[in-house]
Chain A
Amino acid sequence: MITVQNISKTYNKGAVKALDNINLEIQRGELFGLIGPDGAGKTTLFRILATLLVPDQGTATVNGADVVRDYKAIRRTIGYMPGRFSLYPDLTILENLEFYAAVFGTTIAENYAQIKPIYSQIEPFKHRRAGQLSGGMKQKLALSCALVHQPDVLLLDEPTTGVDPVSRQEFWDMLQLLQKTGLTIVVSTPYMDEADRCDRIGLIQKGKMMSVNTPQGITSGYQPDLYAVRSSNMYQLITDLRQLDGISTCYAFGEDAHVSVASNSGLNAPAMEAFLKQKAHNNIQITPIAASIEDCFIELMR
């Protein structure tokens, strides 16, 4: 459905490398997550796929159409939701939706079935102006507007950034609902915990695609042994562990310190505990754990 081949893009005449030789393939009907921190190049990739930006190098196609040559065809088949809420704040919900439908030469009535799962939630407030909506409602309106012309592909650039945890959950539920209708959905997010909601994810960092796989595929591909370590003095714990030979990474992760150890280093939990006791730590807890996406991301970033 979407192919990206050797795409590169620089800004400021080459000074900033936003995308560096990206390759990607997304299947029809897939819910694909593009995950990476701010400034990783997610938005640049979205803007290229949405035909708003011309890449310096490489080719990309959406539904078989080239993003540079056949941009007109693509604009009819995609629904794009930029990272920032960008609907008309002085128009009502209904007016915004009607307007976006009309711009694509269609009407709300014709596509009601498509948008119903989302639109029905905000329909009771349809005469309220978009500028006065809550964050979650704005999100639903933007999604409805992106869907109203029955696109084949949804490109959602950081739709959950700045949205409360409950609305985020709701939003992902809606996406999974939409996926069932056969839509191909590409979502970008800086939140690693949302990765599990996707069929496949791409981890992107500093313009480079580090890994593309299913969330399980990525976590099971995690090589080192991982431990969650705890003691009463967290800060001292991390500083001490970082000095221990055989530990490759050690970072704070919620209430624990996640410690990765190369499997062949010979370092194990009892050895670590002995080291920490010697460093006068109390209440030491060391638990072997399975890697999360975030652990994989940190491992890949090394």
Chain B
Amino acid sequence: MLRALIKKEFSQIFRNPSIIRMMLAAPIIQLIIIPLAADFEVKNINIAVLDWDHSTYSEKIVNRMGASGYFVIKEVAHSPEEAQAALDHGTVDLVVEIPARFERELVREDEAKIFLRADAVNGVKAGLAMNYSGQIISQVNQEIRQDFVQFPRFSPVPTIDISTRFWYNPDFNYRHYMAPGILALLLVMVGSMMCALNIVREREIGTMEQMNVTPVKSYQFLLAKLIPFWIIGLVSLTIGLTVCYLVFGLYPLGSYLTIYLFAMVFLIASLGIGQIVASFSENQQQATLFSFFFMMMFVLLSGLYTSIESMPDWARYLALANPVSHFVDVMRSVMLKGSNFYDLQHRFWALVGFAVLFNAIAVLNYRKRAG
């Protein structure tokens, strides 16, 4: 009986070109486009320079900013109005204003002022722009001081030299950070959305009712939906991992076995979500809306785009109740850190818990007849 159900499911899936396309194209397109485009590093901050001083020091600051790689000197303004207009039009993100007699005051009074104005519509960008320019200016300041201050043999103030190194992602490659997360996203899509739409379609065309008058038990019906999408999910994951290797040269430092083991359990949990969505939807439109809502919540709170550590407490607890966040963490740990099963044991049992819980709700919710 189960074999017949699964066989039917597969022949339907292979006749539905949109499922095949989703299965093959989605991992490839998502993996290539999203990590390349969604880059959090802020580069190319456009600045306008309003230099009233035209001194060696002011020039030094401007040159240093231009050479830092973060800034592009887009405009050299000649009046505050001109600079403000550039900021208003959005042609520049930051205005660096160096007042007249900057150099003289720095030398004579030991103190000088620089005025920075940033377009804070994009808060992250403005913050980073301020940060970077602050660093550059204080660096220049340091150098200038060293030029004309005679230091004693030992520095009167002890200095700490900081050297940094980025572990697990030595090049600080954003793509390597994103790609494992996207793989996780892919599995939720296959699991919850495709599975939910498939079940609801049966309700829509009336075959569900026809099934309900047969001796097919509800667990058999749901299992027959689960297994094909479980397999499709694993195929998608394989395609995704291949793309990761071919396009980004990224392969897991840990074992593929660990990844697949977690993916198998995670897929069951996702399929459970899909079945719950299906049990609450009358038609495919409702199912799409429901699963879209779930996906948004799960994905945005998963730590895929924003780190969970920087969320408020309540959101962090919410993330604990989110299977996607566990799996995103697993994927990153295995791919980038080479974590093994024992390191991630707690995640494994959490995912097993979700898988059992969601599927139990789904089976209980699936009624073969109306009251």
Are the chains A and B members of one assembly? yes
B16 contacts the other chain (CB 8 A): yes
User: In the complex, are the beta carbons of A95 and B209 less than 8 A apart?
Assistant: no
- Give the A-B pair count, Cβ closer than 8 A: 66
B212 close to chain A: CB less than 8 A: yes
Task: Return 30 A-B CB contacts under 8 Å, by A number.
Answer: A51-B213, A52-B212, A52-B368, A52-B369, A54-B369, A71-B369, A72-B215, A75-B214, A75-B215, A82-B206, A84-B206, A85-B206, A86-B205, A88-B12, A88-B205, A89-B205, A90-B15, A91-B11, A91-B12, A95-B8, A95-B11, A98-B4, A99-B8, A102-B3, A103-B4, A103-B5, A103-B211, A104-B214, A104-B215, A105-B1
B324-371 at interface with A (beta carbon < 8 Å): 368-371
Contact A78 B214 (CB under 8 A): no
Pair B209/A82 contact, Cβ less than 8 Å: yes
Closest Cβ of chain A to B215, distance in Å, is: 5
Whether B1 pairs with A53 at a CB distance below 8 angstroms is no
Q: Chain A residue with minimal CB distance to B210?
A: A86
Interface: A28 (CB within 8 A): no
Q: Which chain B residue shows the least CB distance to A54?
A: B371
Asked if A204 is at the interface of the complex by the 8 Å CB criterion, the answer is no
Q: Does A227 contact B (CB under 8 A)?
A: no
How many angstroms between the C-alpha atoms of A86 and B214 in the bound complex?
A: 14
Chain B nearest CB from A124 CB (Å) reads 21
A76 within 8 A of B: yes
Q: A54-B371, A95-B8, A95-B11 are in contact. Are A87 and B212 (CB under 8 A)?
A: no
CA distance A102 to B49 in the complex (A): 78
- B368 CB to closest chain A CB (Å) equals 8
B213 touches A52 (CB 8 A): yes
Instruction: Annotate A76-116 by CB proximity to B: 1 below 8 A, 0 otherwise.
Output: 10101010111111110001001110111100000000000
Closest to B4 in A: A102
Q: Which residues of B contact A103 (CB under 8 A)?
A: 1, 4-5, 211, 214-216
The residue of chain B having its C-beta at the shortest distance from the C-beta of A78 within the complex is B213
Q: How near does chain A come to B278, taking the closest CB pair, in angstroms?
A: 17
Would A91 and B215 count as touching, CB distance under 8 A? no
Q: A105 to chain B: which residues have CB within 8 Å?
A: 1, 215
Closest chain-A Cβ to B349's Cβ sits at a distance in Å of: 37
Instruction: List 6 additional A-B contacts (Cβ < 8 Å) besides A86-B209, A89-B205, A102-B3.
Output: A53-B369, A82-B209, A88-B12, A91-B11, A100-B214, A103-B216
Q: Tell me if B146 is interfacial: C-beta within 8 Å of chain A.
A: no
A247 within 8 A of B: no
B207 at the interface (CB under 8 A from A): yes
- Chain B CB within 10 Å — which of A78, A99, A103 has the most? A103
Find residues 148-192 in chain B having any chain A CB closer than 8 Å to their own CB: none
Q: Are B11 and A52 in contact (CB under 8 A)?
A: no
- Minimum distance in angstroms from A100 CB to a CB of chain B: 7
CB distance from A56 to the nearest CB of B (A): 9
Query: How far is it, in angstroms, between the C-alpha of A95 and the C-alpha of B15 when the chains are bound?
Result: 13
Question: Min CB distance, B342 to chain A, in Å?
Answer: 44
Within 8 A of A (CB), among B1-23: 1, 3-5, 8, 11-12, 15-16
